[in-house]
Structure 1
């Protein structure tokens, strides 16, 4: 049996080679395609496989999210802080009280302006030789006139002061009335008063540059009798020794020149051409005979009442939902963000 197989093997190989020679030639096949068609070996459970590196953190099994942090149980629905509610309640109450106070201030300022305007329409009074300082308050904004000689040698410049955007000074000159009242002068009674003549430009500060603004002889001054002002904290102190005046301190200026503590503001009719002519010649520009008190209390009333209303709405929004029905509830809070 084994011998027959041995004899038939060369005969079968010759026949197979003859058949192959008669077959058509093979077509060209891409080796890369053949590799892709080959079956891939199964991964071995004992051999670790390389994983694809992805740029998305969610595809990384080692990614740690905030939801993986340990939660903490807290109590929700706590009652509001009493101190915070007290402060939030005090804001609208305080604003409402300030608004009511501004209403009173508005009434007071309106009556004051009306009283001053009533004094302006009256005929001017002659200024007495001796004026009681305590009575000036009852004659504030009263039109008066006085006769005498201007002491230009004791002139004082208060400044800097702005007028229509230009820098300059207020000219204050003592008015000597001893010739008008010789009987008082004989008794040694001081009749000199301070007159604020008006505003001049900065380049006319020297008296040599404004000879027309220095009248000689007897003059008649008509103006408003004014109460002394109160100095604020931000105004620098005057320096009388260096002739530097920053604030119209009536008592200090009167003591410096030896006059009464009486302040008269010279007035003139508002005239643009006359003001230009006075400015060019160095003649002081007097103030208009009108009340120049500010009355902004209506704006303050609107501001305080609006603030009171807005904070009241905020307070209502805070306390409109009490938290007593959620006393025992729990929520999960993540503290490691």
Structure 2
């Protein structure tokens, strides 16, 4: 059966061309994101696996130090706990427990000790988490956070924090801050099981290769459909 080749209208050409450019652009963007995410994960893993250093004090936070393995020594001020709200773990809602750690010189480092289920906000429900005495804790350095546009404002009066504003937290607790970094603890076994450390996101989800393949596949499908539509089989006169 002979093929009937039709000439696409200018409008169809323009629409198909724009769609193709968009699909190829989205695929290429995902490839760029793939390499960016791979590099980011590698950097975080390299930082987190180095020998821990003491939390730097009296210095401006350096983005290059983010997720660097670090430690701090002192005792927890359990009566000054702060709650970083709306944090999930395996689909369960809860919060991150931030406790000031007082060093020997009396100055404070903020410590994100890990995740706690929402029902255990009252310290009396988790007495084993109220550790007394001097401790040495290890984790990774984190930088002060700024509010993302989708996040609520912090509510210090209600002790509800939605992002880690180190300066505001120190002011609210009256702490003499030793460092504007805060320490996010690694996963270590704690009597009673709470809080659960190791919440720092080192290995990030990386699905950009699948996304790139999807966009490029759609672009290829568009090309095939465009060609097939304009090269349709010609009907015989008897059938017309």
Q: TM-score, normalised by structure 2?
A: 0.80
Q: Which residue of 2 aligns with 1:246?
A: 162
Structure with the higher fraction of residues in strand conformation? 2
User: Residues of 2 paired with 1:78 and 1:204: CA distance?
Assistant: 70
| Distance in 2, Cα, partners of 1:315 & 1:233 | 42
Q: Which one of the candidate residues 196, 207, 225 is aligned to 1:296? A: 207
Tell whether 2:156 aligns with 1:278: no
Q: Distance in 2 between matches of 1:160 and 1:168?
A: 6
Aligned to 2:180: 261
Q: 1:198, CA displacement in angstroms?
A: 1.0
1:218 maps onto 2:218 in alignment:
no
What per-residue deviation string (whole Å, max 9, x for no partner) do you get for residues 139-189 of structure 1?
Answer: 122110111232223211122333344433210112222x34xxxx7xxxx
Higher gyration radius (CA): 1
Superposition map of 1:116-155 within 5 A: 116-133=44-61, 135=62, 137-155=63-81
- How much is the aligned-residue C-alpha RMSD, in angstroms? 2.8
Q: Which has the higher contact order (CA 8 A, sep 6+)?
A: 2
Deviation (angstroms), 1:254:
4.2
Q: In structure 2, what is the Cα distance between the partners aligned to 1:126 and 1:303?
A: 45
Structure 1, unaligned stretches of length 5 or more?
1-76, 186-190, 322-337
* TM-score, normalised by the number of residues in structure 1: 0.59
Tell me the number of residue pairs that the alignment of Structure 1 and Structure 2 aligns.
225
Contact 2:147-2:153 within 8 A present in 1 as well: no
Is residue 90 of structure 1 aligned with residue 4 of structure 2? no
Q: Note if contact 1:254-1:261 (Cα within 8 Å) is conserved in structure 2.
A: no
Q: How much does 1:265 deviate?
A: 0.5
Question: Mean Cα displacement is larger for which, 220-229 or 77-86?
Answer: 77-86
